C-alpha cells in the first residue's frame, strides 16, 4: 500500500503541538465548567441559608425590617471621593435596637474567618449600628458580634489543577494517537 503521507518531522511536531493546544483549551473549558458548577451550588446553599435565617430570626423575637439592604458609603482616595455600596443580608430590630445580620454557610460562618470579620467591621461602620449578628445557617446559630471601640481581600480561592492536567493529558494522548495513525 503506498504511503499517502510521507513522513515529515515538521508535520509530526505540528500535530503534537496542535493536540497539546487542543488539550490545554479543553482543560480550561473543563475547569471553567467545574468552577461555574461549584459557584452555582454555593449560591444555592447561601440562598437556602438566608431563607432559614429569616424564619429563625422571626421565631426568636426579631422584626425583619428589610432584606438585602444596600447602604452607600465612600472612601477618600488620594483626596477624591470613591463611592461604594455595601449589602447586608438583613436589617432587624429587637427591643428597639436596630442591628445588621449577616448570614453565612460553611467555613466562613465562623466569626474568626478573616473575610467575615472584615465584612462585619465594615457593616458596623457603614450602617452605623451598635449591634451586628452573624447567623451560621448550617448550625442554626446566631452569634452576637461585639465591636470594640478601638481604632482600626478577599480570601484567595483555591485553584484546582486537575482539569488542566486532564485536558493536557487528553491533548497529549490525541497527539500520540494522531502520530501513530499517520506513521503506521
What residues contact 163, with CB distance under 8 A and at least 6 apart? 27, 28, 30, 31, 34
What does the pLDDT average to over 150-159?
44
Query: Is the CB of residue 47 less than 8 Å from the CB of residue 67?
Result: no
Closest residue by Cα to residue 98 from 73, 119, 123, 74: 123
Strand partners, 70: 87
Asked if the structure places residue 74 within a domain, the reply is yes
Asked if the structure places residue 158 within a domain, the reply is no
Range of the domain at 129: 9-153+163-183
Query: Is the CB of residue 30 less than 8 Å from the CB of residue 83?
Result: no
**Between β-strands 63-77 and 80-94, what pairing exists: parallel, antiparallel or unpaired?**
antiparallel
Q: 118: domain CATH number?
A: 3.40.1350.10
Q: Give me the helices (H) in 2-88, please.
A: 9-59
What residues contact 56, with CB distance under 8 A and at least 6 apart? 135, 140, 142
Q: What is the pLDDT of residues 86-133, one digit of tens each?
A: 988 899 999 888 889 988 887 777 887 888 888 888 888 888 887 889
Higher-confidence residue of 74 and 4: namely 74
The whole-angstrom separation of Cα 31 and Cα 2 is: 43
pLDDT (0 to 100) of residue 45: 67
Burial label for 175, CB within 10 Å (0-12, 13-18, 19+), is buried
Asked if the structure places residue 2 within a domain, the reply is no
Tally of structural domains, the chain? 1
pLDDT (0 to 100) of residue 156: 38
Q: What is the pLDDT of residues 129-149, one digit of tens each?
A: 878 898 888 888 888 888 766
Asked if the structure places residue 17 within a domain, the reply is yes
> DSSP state, 109?
G
Q: What is the pLDDT of residues 18-52, one digit of tens each?
A: 888 888 888 888 888 788 877 777 666 667 777 78
Cell digits for 30? 473543563
pLDDT (0 to 100) of residue 44: 67
> DSSP state, 79?
T
Asked if the structure places residue 3 within a domain, the reply is no
Q: Order of strands across the sheet with 131-136? A: 63-77, 80-94, 97-104, 131-136, 141-145
Asked if the structure places residue 1 within a domain, the reply is no
Asked if the structure places residue 110 within a domain, the reply is yes
Amino acid at each position: 500500500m503506498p504511503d499517502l503521507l510521507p513522513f515529515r518531522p515538521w508535520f509530526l511536531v505540528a500535530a503534537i503541538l496542535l493536540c497539546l493546544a487542543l488539550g490545554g483549551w479543553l482543560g480550561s473549558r473543563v475547569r471553567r465548567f467545574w468552577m461555574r458548577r461549584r459557584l452555582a451550588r454555593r449560591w444555592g446553599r447561601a440562598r437556602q441559608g438566608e431563607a432559614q435565617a429569616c424564619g429563625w430570626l422571626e421565631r426568636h423575637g426579631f422584626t425583619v425590617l428589610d432584606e438585602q439592604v444596600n447602604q452607600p458609603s465612600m472612601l477618600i482616595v488620594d483626596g477624591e471621593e470613591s463611592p461604594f455600596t455595601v449589602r447586608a443580608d438583613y436589617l432587624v430590630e429587637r427591643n428597639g435596637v436596630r442591628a445588621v445580620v449577616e448570614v453565612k454557610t460553611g467555613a466562613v460562618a465562623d466569626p474568626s474567618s478573616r473575610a467575615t470579620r472584615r465584612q462585619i467591621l465594615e457593616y458596623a461602620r457603614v450602617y452605623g449600628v451598635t449591634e451586628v449578628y452573624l447567623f451560621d445557617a448550617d448550625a442554626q446559630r446566631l452569634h452576637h458580634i461585639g465591636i470594640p471601640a478601638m481604632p482600626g481581600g478577599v480570601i484567595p480561592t483555591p485553584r484546582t489543577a486537575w482539569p488542566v492536567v486532564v485536558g493536557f493529558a487528553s491533548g497529549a494522548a490525541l497527539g500520540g494517537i494522531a502520530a501513530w495513525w499517520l506513521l503506521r
